[in-house]
Chain A
Amino acid sequence: MTVRKNQASLTTDEKRRFVAAVLELKRSGRYDEFVTTHNAFIVGDTDNGERTGHRSPSFLPWHRRFLLDFERALRSVDASVALPYWDWSTDRSAGASLWAPDFLGGTGRSRDGRVMDGPFAASTGDWPITVRVDGRTYLRRALGGGVRELPTRGEVESVLTIPTYDMAPWNSASDGFRNHLEGWRGANLHNRVHVWVGGQMATGVSPNDPVFWLHHAYVDKLWAEWQRRHPDSGYVPAAGTPDVVDLGETMKPWNDTRPADLLDHTVHYTFDTD
């Protein structure tokens, strides 16, 4: 069984194996297919039209499946690897071990945002940014540049207390847990973390930065924590909602999996805290 661990508690060997597996997916071309898929959904998902990956109830199950696909790809390279998660409410500074040269590398230099250390720095030659929206081919970050503070544990708690999963109009204007976690309303958790990292993470091609997976693995964990606190609240809407993925409807791009199939993460993996 796959166990997803807090990135802060990974051993040196676990970090090395994770990085090596990611680099191998990049080298083989499989990594960039994930970036392409994410960008296609982020520009295609609209508040008043069809919406699947973002700004909709299926934001959480869509990313759960997307991460499962990525994790399976990693494990096809090295079966010992699982996705770690980044609890940004605890490891909330650019000095966290997450950003050390033996893991993801640090922030970008001020002149052009270029990441200068770590295994994903452009100078290694191992991490070309090929799926991109502008001419720059190097990984960029500006940790804490776009917004000063990552969400606090208190802000996370305030979102976890929201009892309703999601609400009409099922988009970025919704009240409810999903949209507060996604960040279009309220304290702003998920969106703010993308902005705090900066660089490609602030764009539609955000999976170009490997921290994308660790961020979303924690967002996914917060969904699991919410379920545990609200056992009587389930995914909504149940049926018959135009442009929105109902509980029993299949999701693009897979067309073989429904939110109902993804509610219980323990079928696929557990967390170190489970």
Chain B
Amino acid sequence: MPELSRRRALTTTVALAATAGVRTVVPAQASADPHHSPGTFDEVYKGRRIQGRPVGGHHHGTGYTVLVDGVELHVMRNADGTWISVVSHYAPVPTPRAAARTAVDELQGAELLPFSAN
């Protein structure tokens, strides 16, 4: 998607979210079962786009990528199926979406730096 229209689309999504509150595009499967792979999600939470999707062959074998405004948030799955992220590393939550929302809360509007730069 060309950059301009992508930005416009994001702006539109943010504007919609501002009037409609949190707007889930595809619901994540809320499950802490360690053998169950969580689904995808894509929503605007507190004005920021958070996305998650399973991926193959990802670093550390997490098998799942979370993005905040398009920037990768490093997440990790615990043995009991709970999740943590690099910005909330000592407090497990049930799903990758919960980890993304916790990250948005923690960031207080700050930009996330790309994982590769960490």
Residues of A within 8 A of B (CB): 39, 42-44, 46-49, 55, 112-113, 131-136, 146-147, 169, 171-173, 183-184, 190-192, 194-195, 202-206
Select which of B60, B79, B91, B112 is within 8 A of A134 by beta carbon: B112
Question: Closest chain B residue to A185 by CB distance?
Answer: B80
B115 CB to nearest chain A CB (Å): 8
Question: Is the CB–CB distance between B118 and A202 below 8 Å?
Answer: no
Q: Provide the residues of chain A in CB contact with B110, threshold 8 Å.
A: 134-136
Residues of A with C-beta under 8 A to B108:
112-113
Q: Are B80 and A172 in contact (CB under 8 A)?
A: yes
Please indicate the chain A residues that have their CB under 8 angstroms from the CB of B90 in the complex.
Answer: 183, 190-192, 194-195, 202
The answer to whether A191 and B91 have CB atoms under 8 Å apart is yes
A206 near B60: Cβ-Cβ < 8 Å:
no
Q: Please state if B111 and A135 are interface contacts (CB–CB under 8 Å).
A: yes
Number of A-B contacts (CB under 8 A): 84
Q: Contacts A132-B113, A135-B111, A172-B80; is A203 near B88 (CB within 8 Å)?
A: yes
A47 to B79, CA, bound (A): 6
Q: Are the CB atoms of A134 and B89 closer together than 8 Å? A: no
Q: A43 and B74: CB pair below 8 A?
A: yes
B86 to chain A, nearest CB (A): 4
Which residue of chain A has the shortest Cβ distance to B111 in the bound complex?
A135
List the A side residues contacting B74 at CB < 8 Å.
43, 133, 204
**Contact between chains at B78 and A134 (CB < 8 Å):** no
The interface residues of chain A lying within 8 Å CB-to-CB of B92 are 184
